[in-house]
Structure 1
Amino acid sequence: MKASLIFLLLTFALSAQAEEGITLSPEQQAAVGIETRAITPAPAQYRYLVPGEVLVDQYRSYLASPRLPSVVLSRHTALGDHVVKGAVLVTLFSAELAEAQGDYLSARPEWQRVKGLGKAAVGEQRFVDTKSRFDASLAKLRGYGLDEGDIAVTPLGQYPLRSAIDGVVLSDSFQQGQAVAPGEALVQVADEASLWVQAQLPGTSTLDIPKGTKALVSTGDTAWPASVSQAGHTLDPVTRTRTVRLSLPNPQHALHAGMYVDVAFLFETPAPVMALPQEALIRSSDGDWTVFVEPEPGHFEAREVTLGKVLDDQQQVLDLEPGTKVAVKGAFYIASELAKAGFSAHNH
């Protein structure tokens, strides 16, 4: 294809001026797709791409676990189920709970009787002692996770684990009949309407990514807006990468924990810059970067430039005057014509 394009160019009657560049008619420019525009300073947007992983938003998730040694009697949910706040996830049995319930069932009627008689009839000390025993037995049951309704109707030694939030069951690593220890996670429920994305930056990166920085999280051709919620200041001991956490709204539940994604942090230059498309740049024979300026209509001259920051598919240039007309498309063809005519694309 390159050879055919050069052949096409060779058929044009080009008017070249040695040491001064080359002149192309409007028809010739149109045939090879040359486009020019005046370059002026303007704010430039650019992205910084890194890999990432979707995680559960731990501020919006709940781990259901027993608070005392127990045995699993039955499960009431399965992986992937949507549950509401207060839904029973697991029913367990605990001998320690049965003892605590026995203390409560003993203390409650005694307290109700003493309360009915009144402090004057039973004496202050007995009144206080009876109330203290009842309050302590009730507090112990509440500490084990039983609410008022559970305390009233739960069979001796049995108790439910309930979900504290609306969400989806993401894990349920237990079996019926299994003995479980206090604090052992049985069911994880998460609200997937909001997720975390953990982005991994090279450990050597000095890029400042403050809280609130906007980003796009993508898989395939689909992207979702996100924003930085936390930036780590230490390196992962295994991957030696710097972690940045993003908050990602996920109202349609299109993303799920464990998915790998691409993260594009979105930035804007702090001040207007002169920037050109990458295809406007040509490297000369001695390695310098050049562009083709158009000082007069149809007349192109090579000019050395100094490069600044890479801005996605744009490149900052540092030494062009504002308003300079530059060939932003077709620079390769202009360079080819200059080379064929015996000129250098490097203008000394």
Structure 2
Amino acid sequence: MRIEVRPGRQVIGGAAASALLALAACGGGGGDATKAKEKGGAPGQSGPVTVGYVVVQPTSVPTTSELPGRTVAYQSSEVRPQVSGVIQRRFFTEGAIVKRGQPLYQIDPSLYRASANQASANVANAQATYEAAKIRADRYKPLAQMEAISAQDYTDAVATQRQAAATIAVNRAQLDTARVNLRFTTVPAPITGRIGRSLFTVGALVSSTQTDPLATIQQLDPMFVDIQQSSANLLALRRSLASGGAVPARAEVTLKLEDGSDYGIKGAVEFAEVVVDPSTGTVTLRARFPNPNGLLLPGMFVRAVFSQSIQQNAFLVPQTAITRDAKGNATLYVVGANNRAEQRTVTAERTQGAYWVVIDGLKAGDKVITQGLANVKPKTPLQPVPADTPQKVQAPSPEQMDKMSSAKGKAG
């Protein structure tokens, strides 16, 4: 409540006000205390306590969670050689953006080119053999029909033709393999993204069986954030959704970076893992964020803030109105019947900004006392006014000033 002085009146000082209160108390005598007791107030209390209240109504409140997370590249690929040889050239700049299929390294192609040429020659040889076998089989066919040659000779000629055709197929497969290996001597980028440092230099011998990659490419726009949520909290959320006390919310996520600043671009949760990590007891939720400026880098520690559900029929009560008893129960005062204070025990498990979220113990239209609680006890008579209503204080009248002067003279 705010205190407001009417214009045109003089406000007395602290000492004069104290004297005025003492004079009023002396003038009232014991009758005022008796009347206060009859009204239900405390002894010495001259009248009802002025309090400020707010009228609460049920609303839908999102269940907001703030959980830790780590950034992960949207795509990550290790560049590896598929053939063995010496690196002759490197075609990229470390740290640059490379496109899928762009040449990155050139491995010495001499041996693979020779193998391809040999395989091509083998195919040509097999084709010549096949043509000779085919001509012989065609020539033996009418002779075998006239019984000029034995049937076995014709059968052998046809078999030789088929063997020659199979040899062509084998040699063509070998030629394809040789050409593929020759193509692998140029190492391309498997994905589009930002490439890191090169782990091998020109002149290094690389192998298709080595464990170390040549380089790593990562796609950083968009970016994944892996969020860790307690399996117990996830179980409670699912039970709340199943009971109908809450409804699913669109999982829109905001990020807080390592320096405490907001990322500024919102993301969305895409899926949740179906297994619980036995070492931490958490479930991983994965969110995706646009990263057009490259501010997010893989491995950064962040905090994700998002709403997983919406609590229905909840009350938002200012935090100043709720206190905790010795057992930890949340209590508050409401304006009851006949303007008397009524204490309530409510269920308030979390806060939302400057409010407690109360899910039990209140009903629509209750007047919750938020101001003037210092002198409020159960059944205390109240003079309720809406919260933040200005309180008008008047200067004492001339008669009261005369009494104060007389009282000061007698005291002197």
Provide the rounded CA distance (Å) in 2 between the counterparts of 1:212 and 1:230: 14
Provide the rounded CA distance (Å) in 2 between the counterparts of 1:295 and 1:115: 109
Q: Within 5 Å, which residues of 2 pair with 1:61-210? A: 61-93=76-108, 97=112, 100-107=115-122, 109-110=124-125, 114=128, 120-121=134-135, 123-142=161-180, 144=181, 150=183, 159-182=185-208, 184=211, 185-202=213-230, 205-207=233-235
Report SS of the residue matched to 1:138. Answer: helix
Report SS of the residue matched to 1:256. Answer: coil
Larger radius of gyration: 2
**Could you tell me whether the CA contact under 8 Å between 2:335 and 2:342 is conserved in 1?**
no
Q: Deviations over 1:72-92 (max 9, x none)?
A: 333222332111121111222
**Could you tell me whether the CA contact under 8 Å between 2:88 and 2:107 is conserved in 1?**
yes
Provide the rounded CA distance (Å) in 2 between the counterparts of 1:211 and 1:291: 30
**Could you tell me whether the CA contact under 8 Å between 2:83 and 2:185 is conserved in 1?**
no
Structure 1 unaligned spans of 5+:
1-7, 30-35, 151-157
**Could you tell me whether the CA contact under 8 Å between 2:249 and 2:307 is conserved in 1?**
no
**Could you tell me whether the CA contact under 8 Å between 2:94 and 2:196 is conserved in 1?**
yes
- Displacement of 1:260: 1.4
Report SS of the residue matched to 1:272. Answer: strand
2:276 maps to a residue whose letter is: T
Equivalent residue number for residue 335 of structure 1: 373
Equivalent residue number for residue 320 of structure 1: 362
> How many residues are aligned here?
301
Tell me: CA distance 1:118–1:212, structure 2 relative to 1, closer, same or farther (3 Å): farther
Provide the rounded CA distance (Å) in 2 between the counterparts of 1:41 and 1:75: 67
Tell me: CA distance 1:169–1:211, structure 2 relative to 1, closer, same or farther (3 Å): farther
Tell me: CA distance 1:213–1:236, structure 2 relative to 1, closer, same or farther (3 Å): farther
Greater fraction of residues in helix: 2
Report SS of the residue matched to 1:269. Answer: strand
**Could you tell me whether the CA contact under 8 Å between 1:216 and 1:263 is conserved in 2?**
yes
Equivalent residue number for residue 73 of structure 2: 56
1:23 aligns with 2:63: no
Report SS of the residue matched to 1:250. Answer: coil
Equivalent residue number for residue 60 of structure 2: 43
**Could you tell me whether the CA contact under 8 Å between 1:193 and 1:251 is conserved in 2?**
yes
**Could you tell me whether the CA contact under 8 Å between 1:236 and 1:242 is conserved in 2?**
no
Tell me: CA distance 1:103–1:21, structure 2 relative to 1, closer, same or farther (3 Å): farther
Q: Percent identity?
A: 16
Equivalent residue number for residue 154 of structure 1: none
Provide the rounded CA distance (Å) in 1 between the counterparts of 2:278 and 2:109: 41
**Could you tell me whether the CA contact under 8 Å between 1:114 and 1:127 is conserved in 2?**
no
Q: Deviations over 1:14-34 (max 9, x none)?
A: x9972797224xxxx6xxxxx
Q: Give structure 1 regions of 4+ aligned residues with deviation exceeding 6 angstroms.
A: 115-119, 209-212
1:18 maps to a residue whose letter is: G
1:221 to 262, 268, 280: 262
Report SS of the residue matched to 2:220. Answer: coil
Provide the rounded CA distance (Å) in 1 between the counterparts of 2:304 and 2:351: 16
Tell me: CA distance 1:88–1:334, structure 2 relative to 1, closer, same or farther (3 Å): same
1:303 to 333, 343, 350: 343
Structure 2 unaligned spans of 5+:
1-13, 22-35, 137-160, 239-247, 381-412
- Displacement of 1:138: 0.7
1:187 maps to a residue whose letter is: A
Q: Deviations over 1:165-187 (max 9, x none)?
A: 32211453333333333254222
Tell me: CA distance 1:196–1:232, structure 2 relative to 1, closer, same or farther (3 Å): farther
Tell me: CA distance 1:284–1:236, structure 2 relative to 1, closer, same or farther (3 Å): closer
Tell me: CA distance 1:39–1:61, structure 2 relative to 1, closer, same or farther (3 Å): same
TM-score (norm 1): 0.69
RMSD: 4.1
1:52 maps to a residue whose letter is: G
**Could you tell me whether the CA contact under 8 Å between 2:123 and 2:168 is conserved in 1?**
no
Tell me: CA distance 1:255–1:21, structure 2 relative to 1, closer, same or farther (3 Å): farther
Tell me: CA distance 1:212–1:128, structure 2 relative to 1, closer, same or farther (3 Å): farther
**Could you tell me whether the CA contact under 8 Å between 1:198 and 1:244 is conserved in 2?**
yes
Tell me: CA distance 1:282–1:240, structure 2 relative to 1, closer, same or farther (3 Å): closer
**Could you tell me whether the CA contact under 8 Å between 2:85 and 2:207 is conserved in 1?**
yes
